[in-house]
Amino acid sequence: LLKDGAKAIIDAVFGAREHRPDGIVSLADIMDEACKPIEQGVSWPWDRLTELTHGRRPGELYAVGAGTGVGKTDVFSECINHDVSMGIPTAVFAFEATPAESARRIAGKHASRTFHIPDSGWQPEELVESLNALQSSAPLFLYDSWGSTDWDRVESTIEYLVAAENVQHVYIDHLTAFASGDARN
């Protein structure tokens, strides 16, 4: 009253608005959005998984959890190859592998070969051919962490790749090494 006068008190009483914490919406608020048809997302490398999930849509996050040596990196490599082969700009943050090793694994999925395993029956020109085919399909960015798992650096790099390079899918392999800071040396 002393600071703003009687009008401020009258405005506060008669102009009071209902308090509603952020994030609460009613059905009426979201009715139009809720009634929109569900969009089919980008396919997975596996038809059945695409059918079950209706594909992958922007803003969704998928986390793959399994024991050591079960094949998480193989699953990611298959998905990355699939995305790049479909022309989707993709980024890979592999904290337990060098970019070159990650590239060999992804190229191996492309050619159905094990380029990351020495003396496994492939020829060097097959690797070059597969890498060239991937490179001509869509941009593939591989992050060299130098063993660092600093989230601020990774986050700013992801933001750059999305904004400047139009990256649509980002893969982080693997979260445990990233979260614990126990990446390759």
Supply the pLDDT for residue 10: 83
Residue pair 6/14 in contact (Cβ under 8 Å)? The answer is no
For 23-40, write each residue's pLDDT tens digit: 899 999 999 999 999 889
For 91-133, write each residue's pLDDT tens digit: 999 988 899 999 999 999 999 999 999 889 999 999 999 999 9
pTM (two decimals): 0.77
The residue type of 47 is: D
Angle subtended at Cα 45 by Cα 78 and Cα 49, rounded to the nearest 5 degrees: 125
Grouping H, G, I as helix, E, B as strand and the rest as coil, residue 163 is helix
Query: CA 120 to CA 115: how far, in whole Å?
Result: 8
